[in-house]
Amino acid sequence: MAYLLVAGAVVAAWFDALSARELAGAHCRNLCRDAGLQLLDQSVALQRWRLARIHGRLGVQRRYGFEVSFDGTDRHAGTISFAGRVRTTYTLPLRGTATGPAIGGDAVT
């Protein structure tokens, strides 16, 4: 019986991670569209995962990385962070710079 509970918890965690990644991808697509950037590879990658207090409750903070392009010939890094299901911060490269220093924002969604 304990094996079923552990297996159920693993499956639930897996689906939660997939759902969070899809949410991050949707937010990245919207950010890129609004900034006039191309989201490369149409994907995000988990960079950091940790347990943290969110509004007094234990929750998960995640940071995802992704790559963007200004015109299809360059490649720059961006990040997006979530506390639970709420987007907290993001960074995007500045247009017209060789190294693409990041701009970012705090989001209220």
User: Residue 3: left (phi > 0), alpha (psi -120 to 50), or beta?
Assistant: alpha
What's 99's DSSP letter? S
pLDDT at residue 108, as a whole number: 43
- pLDDT class of 1 with cuts at 50, 70, 90: confident
Distance CA(60)–CA(45), nearest Å, equals 16
With 0-12 / 13-18 / 19 or more C-beta atoms within 10 angstroms meaning exposed / middle / buried, residue 54 is: middle
Q: How far apart are CA 62 and CA 79, in angstroms?
A: 10
DSSP 16: H
How many CB atoms neighbour CB 76 within 10 A? 21
Which tens digit of pLDDT belongs to each residue from 31-73? 999 999 999 998 999 999 999 998 889 999 999 999 999 998 8
- Residue 78 banded pLDDT, cuts 50, 70, 90: very high
